[in-house]
Amino acid sequence: MPDRSTQPRDHTVSRRALLTALCSAPLLGGAVRAARPEAPTDAGFSFVHITDPHIQPELGAVEGVRKAFAAIAALSPRPTFALIGGDIVMDAAYVGRNRAEEVYDLWQTAADGLGIPLHYSAGNHDIFAVGGSERLPENAPDFGKALWMRRLGLSQRYATFEHGAWKFIVLDSVQVGRWADSPNAQGWRGELDAEQMVWLDDLLRKTDPAQPLVFLTHVPILTLFAQYTKGTTTALGDDKIVRNGKDFVERISTHNVRAVLQGHTHVYEDCQYRGVRYITGGAVCGDWWKGPRLGVHPEGFGVATVYGNTLDYRYHAYGWRSLAPDKSAKI
């Protein structure tokens, strides 16, 4: 088992840049869960959490992704696999087919060079032709997640796999449609749909409560993003947070969930509630390649090291400098 004291640390990111929120108060109801005892696990391994690359021909994004992937290739020990947290392209949701295929070509060329297994969660910019002037009928070829699944060779939109003694569960948090009760009129909302929740319930029933679990989602399930960007009494809409996240929190409460890895807001944030860490993993693109997000969250990716029943997560800024700073992006 690796010695925690020997794990590589990245000292390039300032304390201010790593705005880290501890959310241990009972925000969603229920008592704070006590720490779980160590469960027998394997000797250890590492993986990377890559979210929100937003690859595109503009803004030096292709070179930025290459630089990030070169930093991943240089990691020691070498990561065993990557969890890809969505928004790999910029953009497929509001553009025509030619542009969508072009940005997916860019992503696949870059991703082929990683040389490790990739596990994907869909982002709101990965889905095809769901809004704007380019919106297609729902029965059109490749509409919604169909293009994303075809280009990535996926047979299902959510999945699970195991590595060593750990189980990883990839969620689909981006649902396509239009709803009168949602503030987001762009053809999608953050939600775990009913079919997926039935699947999750069945999976959890079949899972040993002591087995360490890691979840991957694009849209956050728990975050303080609104409090430090809008105001301390402000709530987020379902274009920024999963609308039925409370149901998810209650479902996982009986299991040994070590982390829920999130994306979408482009900030690095580590919230803890009932013994579960909700880690929002920054963004490879920062603020859509226009500089650090909110001026303090640099372009980067997460490196997770597993040892025993513990997951150590470090945010790795890879040194990108924007070609078009000082412009805010809309996620």
CA distance 227 to 108: 36
Residue 327 has pLDDT above 90, yes or no: no
Does 12 reside within a domain? no
Which string of b and e fits 313-329 if b means at least 16 CB within 10 Å? bbbbbbebebeeeeeeb
**Phi/psi zone of residue 196: left (φ > 0), alpha (ψ -120 to 50 degrees), beta?**
alpha
Does 272 reside within a domain? yes
Q: 58: burial class by Cβ within 10 Å (0-12, 13-18, 19+)?
A: exposed
User: What pLDDT is stored for residue 13 in this prediction?
Assistant: 43
Does 200 reside within a domain? yes
Q: 19: burial class by Cβ within 10 Å (0-12, 13-18, 19+)?
A: middle
User: What pLDDT is stored for residue 265 in this prediction?
Assistant: 99
Which helix or strand (DSSP H or E) is residue 248 part of? Answer: helix 245-251
Closest CA to 64 of 90, 85, 86: 90
Does 1 reside within a domain? no
Residue 40 has pLDDT above 90, yes or no: no
Write out the residue range of the structural domain in which residue 112 sits.
18-30+41-317
**Confidence at 165, pLDDT banded by 50, 70, 90:** very high
Share of the chain above pLDDT 90, in %: 79
User: What pLDDT is stored for residue 25 in this prediction?
Assistant: 33
Residue 198 has pLDDT above 50, yes or no: yes
CA distance 250 to 244: 10
Residue 43 has pLDDT above 80, yes or no: no
Q: HSE (CB half, 13 Å, CA atoms) of 158?
A: 22
**Confidence at 132, pLDDT banded by 50, 70, 90:** confident
The residues with which 91 forms a beta bridge, in sequence order, are none
Which tokens sit at 220? Answer: 């956050």
User: What pLDDT is stored for residue 14 in this prediction?
Assistant: 39
CA distance 110 to 78: 18
Average pLDDT, the chain: 88
What's the total number of domains in the chain?
A: 1
Does 2 reside within a domain? no
Contact between 134 and 94 under an 8 Å Cβ cutoff? The reply is yes
CATH number, domain with residue 92: 3.60.21.10
User: What pLDDT is stored for residue 20 in this prediction?
Assistant: 44
User: What pLDDT is stored for residue 326 in this prediction?
Assistant: 56
The residues with which 166 forms a beta bridge, in sequence order, are 163
Q: What is the pTM of this model?
A: 0.87
Contact between 127 and 173 under an 8 Å Cβ cutoff? The reply is no
Does 303 reside within a domain? yes
178 against 188, higher pLDDT: 188
Share of the chain above pLDDT 70, in %: 83
Sorted by sequence, the CB contacts under 8 Å of residue 171 that are 6+ apart come out as 121, 158, 192, 196, 200, 215, 216, 217
Does 231 reside within a domain? yes
Residue 34 has pLDDT above 50, yes or no: no
Mean pLDDT of 30-34: 32
Does 228 reside within a domain? yes
Largest CA distance in the chain: 55
To which residue do tokens 């070609």 refer?
A: 323
**Confidence at 179, pLDDT banded by 50, 70, 90:** low
